[in-house]
Chains A and B, each alone.
Chain A
Amino acid sequence: MEHVLAILVGLFVALGIYLLLSRSVIRMLLGMVVLGNGVNLLIFTAGRLTREIAPIVPDGLSVPAGPIANPLPQALILTAIVIGFAMFSFLLVLAYRAYQTLDADNTDTMRLAEPDNAPNPPLSY
């Protein structure tokens, strides 16, 4: 099962990077989402998959009786999802504001901070 998920993670990351290479800000945003989900899936897989054995310590014992599903990756992923969603929402609003203000969805035409036709630096010392 891990192998199938590993291939899936590879596909997610490849698709995310492909979208990030685009010049369109919206495609880049989608790329970030896909990449982020690929990474979350990777953490899930890295914790190894165990089916149908809940990580509950029985009464009277201080350690679980046998092998259990790993509960830690879920905590990590939950944190990562929340953070990733906050970042995504910020970037989405930012992209919208940039589109409104700069009238540009294409990163090549966003040249306000770094003007395209900057004059040569002065030669004097």
Chain B
Amino acid sequence: MDGMQQTATIIADWIVVLPLVLALMGAAALVMRRSSTSSAVLAICVVLTIIACEIALLLRVSFAGPLSMTMGNWLPPFGISFAADAFGVVFALTAALVTLAVLVYAQGERASNDGRDGFHALVLLLLAGVTGSFLTGDLFNLYVWFEVMLIASFGLIVLGGSPAQLDGAVKYGFLNFLATTLFLLSLGLIYGLLGTLNMADILRVAPDANPAALTGIAALLLLAFGMKAAAFPLNAWLPASYHTPPVVISALMAGLLTKVGAYALLRVLILLLPSSREVLEPVLVVIAVATLLTAPLGAIAETNLRRALGFLVIGGIGAVVAGIAIGSHTAVAGAGFYIVHAMLTMTALYLVAGLIERMTGETDSRRMGGLYAASAPLSILFFVLMLAAAGVPPLLGFWPKLLLLQAGLEQGDWGGIALVVALILNAVLTLIAVSRLWAHMFWRDGMEGSGAEPQPLVVLSRNEAWLRYGTAGVLTAAVVALGLWPNGLLEIIGTGAFDMIDPSRYVSAVGLAGGTP
């Protein structure tokens, strides 16, 4: 029996799929609960367990290199593989931490809610989709996790069902469903060309395939993942929908969803089809420059707070695409680091925006003002996060941008220089956009045109204030601390980038290194 595995999987290797199993079972348990008083507690416990598993997994991966597990006793090209390398595990861990913060924060908002609307189950399902996308080693399986993530986000974005949400959900739903359909289309073409969808197996057979056909498929994947990631010409759905649902849901989606698209792009173009990436390089440079420049301009023109933040989310995707366009080890490390930074910083910014909206009762920055006098801690949180988003040292956002700038200068040709210029302009424009928002909301005496009359603010209950300020504060502290001591993260991300560029460790972990099956 050539294709069958004779020995049982080592118990310790189950840790690769344990985060997923936990998230899916947690979601199922929450759906079946009739009384929902403790559903939040259950959800938080599940996420804590997932975090513990992922920390253990991260330790193993950083000592022993990539780790893999294949389902159902079939050897890799036949069974579905899960493969955890440094990039996947770091992103999955960050995603779980962000989810934990959002769940705790939501307790402040949802204290009066009985929790029967399925919020917690959908959040766990979303986390399962995101974690699965980060840890899978099979392209069709990646498609399945994309759809799990998509259906959970559909459920979340319409939760509450206000008219604006329905409007935003129509645009979000159609464009994202179209993107995953295009992804499926390119999967069909890959299967027709290579006869396999296992990532390690694709690495083995792709060099012998027709390069023109592969590049065509890579371009189609770029279209599909670019749409999921909200890269420049395909980003209209993000500012149209992300500001409509309740703020905890916005924060979760802004933190996780577009980054999964960016990660898939990284995985496919850097790891799987590097020769096609070289052909597509001019296209990637143009997309990255356009995304980096247009996104902060959109944020400057926008007065709705959360819509302006939506444009900043898009700008971060531009930086990741810039790393893919350069493609060197430093650039890939920069792109990976940027994904971690964007997950933490964007979620924290949305959570702080939620506090601002809750206290002022407004969503439009023109109708806010005088918040500095009313709440100094809030203004400090927003100030720190806005500097982190723009990439001001010594905060977290600085290091990935430094890596990307270094990589662009090392490359030295017109593309590299264009990306360096665009990254610097992006930082300046982002700083203008966010500092203007800060000046309007916090520094101005009262709302626009009202003179010096300070705005009456909603006073939060003690419990709510603790939960909301606490989670936003902890995330902000993480952004500051990781910016001051980035070495550990840099090292792990560097290993991940190394495994992306030179996949030999990845392939042998999946078990396809020796000869033909």
| Chain A bound to chain B | yes
Interface residues of A, Cβ cutoff 8 Å to B: 13, 20, 25, 28, 32, 35-36, 39, 42-43, 45-47, 62-63, 72-73, 76, 79-80, 83-84, 86-87, 90-91, 94-95, 97-98, 101-102, 107, 110-114, 118-119, 121-122, 124-125
Interface residues of B, Cβ cutoff 8 Å to A: 1-2, 140, 143-144, 147, 150-151, 154, 158, 161, 163-171, 173-174, 177-178, 181, 184-185, 187-189, 191-192, 239-241, 243-244, 300-303, 366, 436, 439-440, 448
What 7 A-B pairs come out closest when comparing CB atoms? A46-B192, A43-B188, A113-B168, A112-B167, A42-B188, A113-B167, A98-B166
Minimum C-beta distance from A12 to chain B (A): 11
- Residues of B near A28 (CB, < 8 A) are 174
On whether the beta carbons of A98 and B191 are closer than 8 Å, the reply is: no
Of A13, A83, A84, A94, the contact of B166 (CB 8 Å cutoff): A94
On whether the beta carbons of B163 and A46 are closer than 8 Å, the reply is: no
On whether the beta carbons of A91 and B302 are closer than 8 Å, the reply is: no
**Complex: A86 Cα to B148 Cα, angstroms:** 11
On whether the beta carbons of A121 and B188 are closer than 8 Å, the reply is: no
Among B147, B163, B188, chain A packs the most CB atoms within 10 A around the CB of B188
Give the dominant DSSP class at B's interface: helix
On whether the beta carbons of B192 and A94 are closer than 8 Å, the reply is: no
Of A39, A62, A112, the contact of B163 (CB 8 Å cutoff): A112
**Complex: A32 Cα to B177 Cα, angstroms:** 8
Minimum C-beta distance from B265 to chain A (A): 20
- Residues of B near A47 (CB, < 8 A) are 191-192
Minimum C-beta distance from B378 to chain A (A): 21
On whether the beta carbons of A97 and B174 are closer than 8 Å, the reply is: no
- Residues of A near B192 (CB, < 8 A) are 42, 45-47
On whether the beta carbons of A39 and B170 are closer than 8 Å, the reply is: no
On whether the beta carbons of A32 and B158 are closer than 8 Å, the reply is: no
20 residue pairs A–B, Cβ–Cβ below 8 Å: A20-B174, A32-B177, A35-B181, A43-B184, A46-B192, A76-B187, A76-B191, A80-B143, A87-B154, A94-B154, A97-B158, A97-B161, A97-B166, A98-B167, A110-B170, A113-B164, A113-B171, A121-B300, A122-B303, A124-B440
On whether the beta carbons of A62 and B166 are closer than 8 Å, the reply is: no
